[in-house]
């Protein structure tokens, strides 16, 4: 199950408050401004800066 567009519209990057892009193949959300990738675990986005990966 993918993240709904309605939910994705409400989610923002915890660092810059920018828009997140859903990368379904990688099961993650990406902030192109900060160049950070946030994992999606069991259909729940993990929006913790300590857990983010730099791109």
* Residue linked to tokens 């300590």: 50
Specify the pTM. Answer: 0.90
pLDDT of 10 above 90: yes
DSSP codes, the chain? -PPPHHHHHH-B-TTT-PBPEEETTTTEEEETTTTEEEEEETTEE---GGG-EE-
Mean pLDDT of the chain: 94
pLDDT at residue number 41: 93
Closest by alpha carbon to 51, among 23, 29, 22?
Answer: 29
* Residue linked to tokens 């989610």: 11
pLDDT of 4 above 90: no
pLDDT at residue number 1: 55
């Amino acid at each position: 199950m993918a993240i709904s567009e309605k939910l994705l519209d409400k989610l923002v990057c915890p660092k810059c408050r920018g828009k997140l892009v859903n990368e379904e193949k990688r099961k993650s959300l990406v902030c192109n401004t900060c160049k950070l990738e946030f994992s999606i675990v069991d259909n729940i986005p993990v929006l913790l800066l300590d857990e983010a990966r730099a791109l």
